[in-house]
Structure 1
Amino acid sequence: MSSRTASSRRAPAKRRKSSRSSAGQGMTSWLAILAVVAGGIALYDNRATVLKELSPWLSKERSVAASPAPKPDATREKQSQPKTQSTAAKGPVPPASVGVTKAAVPASRPAVASTETAALTGENFSGKFYFCGTSGLDNCVMSGDTFWYRKTKIVLADIAAPRTDGAACQQERDRGFAAKVRLKDLLSSGRFDLETLKVQATGAAAGVLRVATRDGRSLGSILVSEGLAKPRMARQQSWCP
């Protein structure tokens, strides 16, 4: 009887311990759940601060993930390629021949000088004349007895005008300039004719020798009558006093 009573007394003690342990485990799980919920609420309330703290780490991970794989260096590839094409294109250069000179090829000139000279004889020539140096050597007056027409130098064969370049005195230079202006005005005033005159001229007067006339009167004779020129066949006197 005594053994039964002792066992019956110990049995409730074991049950009490098991019930206490199960209750303690249940409280621990509930506390953990409550802590997780409280932590989530706190994280949600402070989400701006948390994202600000974690943004540097997130940006580093994204840059590493987005960076492409390194490409091979293009300059190394070019240097590694063999230079066979350039050497093959150039080829060996033959040595220059020694003691052999090439014959000079004469410049081809159009054979129109004689045609232009023949064409500058006739009637009804006209044009607007300028001073040479402002319009090139075409339709311009060089001096009181020389002008360019159709790119041909024409010397008045019947007169000799004072010089402007290389004049012996200021009076000759001034009169030569006046003759130059007068001849430009006469040539630009209307149509004129060009006739040949068998007079040889050399030096500064070399050119196509012509007599310019208008209405049968020589333009050179007009300059002579105005004291701006002298007849070419006459004895030449100095223009200086």
Structure 2
Amino acid sequence: MAVLAVIGLASARYHYNDRPEPRQVIALSVGPGGTTLSHYAPTASSSVDALSGEFAVCGFLNRQNCVIDGDTILYSGVKIRIADIDAPEITEPKCAAEAALGDRAKHRLVELMNAGHFRIVAAGGRDEDVYGRKLRRIERDGRSVADALVREGLARRWNGARRSWCN
């Protein structure tokens, strides 16, 4: 089991997009026997079998394996946008219905990520979106975990255009 030590200044206000100043936060991962653990850094051609991790909603001290929103996760500290869906916004929703649906999508994605081993697969096309997030599919047993979100009405297939979640 890895131990995460965080040393630095904690801000009273924190947003998942905030990037700390270089000397504000120092994170050290130490594995059994004192060895430093390597982290997965997905590339455009990468596909890794049998990945796993314990996921929760992202927070100040939880920045390794966590869910940011219904279509974005952090895995080993790398921000990954699930390329084949669009989920409702939670940081700047256009209406209360979008905020509520986005919150449900985020929590459902936590459940899906914790349901067992998965693969992170190159989506084809661009490696990153305009925000620097890696564009990937997350698969379990050959199916995208995003399928469940779409089936449950918590996300839509991404077709390249944003559509309103408000009625």
Length-normalised TM-score, structure 1: 0.49
Shift of 1:198: 2.2
Hey, what does 2:80 align to over in structure 1?
Answer: 154
Cross-structure match for 1:123: 49
Which of residues 111, 116, 139 in structure 1 aligns to 2:65? 139
Q: Pick closer, same or farther for the CA change 1:116–1:180 going to 2, 3 Å.
A: same
Which structure 2 residues correspond to residues 1-241 of structure 1 after superposition, within 5 A?
116-118=41-43, 121-133=47-59, 135-200=61-126, 201-203=129-131, 206-233=132-159, 235-241=161-167
Q: CA deviation at 1:120?
A: 6.0
> Letter of the aligned partner of 2:68 in structure 1?
M
Which portions of structure 1, spanning 4 or more consecutive aligned residues, are displaced by more than 3 angstroms? none
- Larger relative helix fraction: 1
Q: How many residue pairs get matched?
A: 128
Aligned equivalents of 1:175, 1:230: Cα separation in 2? 12
Task: Give the drift of 1:233.
Answer: 1.7
TM-aligned CA distance change 1:199 to 1:232, over 3 Å: farther
For residue 227 of structure 1, report the CA deviation from its aligned partner.
Answer: 0.5
Gaps of 5+ in 1: 1-114
Q: Give, in angstroms, the shift of residue 135 of structure 1.
A: 3.6
Match of 1:19 in 2: none
**Partner SS state of residue 172, structure 1:** helix
> SS at the partner of 1:116?
coil
Q: Is the Cα–Cα contact under 8 Å of residues 68 and 74 in structure 2 kept in the other structure?
A: yes
RMSD: 2.5
TM-score scaled by length of structure 2 = 0.69
The residue matched to 2:92 in structure 1 has which SS?
coil
Aligned twin of 2:21: none
More strand by share: 2
Give the partner amino acid of 2:123.
L
Q: Work out which structure has the larger RCO, using CA pairs closer than 8 Å and 6 or more positions apart in sequence.
A: 2
Please give the alpha-carbon distance, in whole angstroms, between the structure 2 residues aligned to 1:188 and 1:134: 20
Q: Unmatched 5+ residue regions in structure 2? A: 1-39
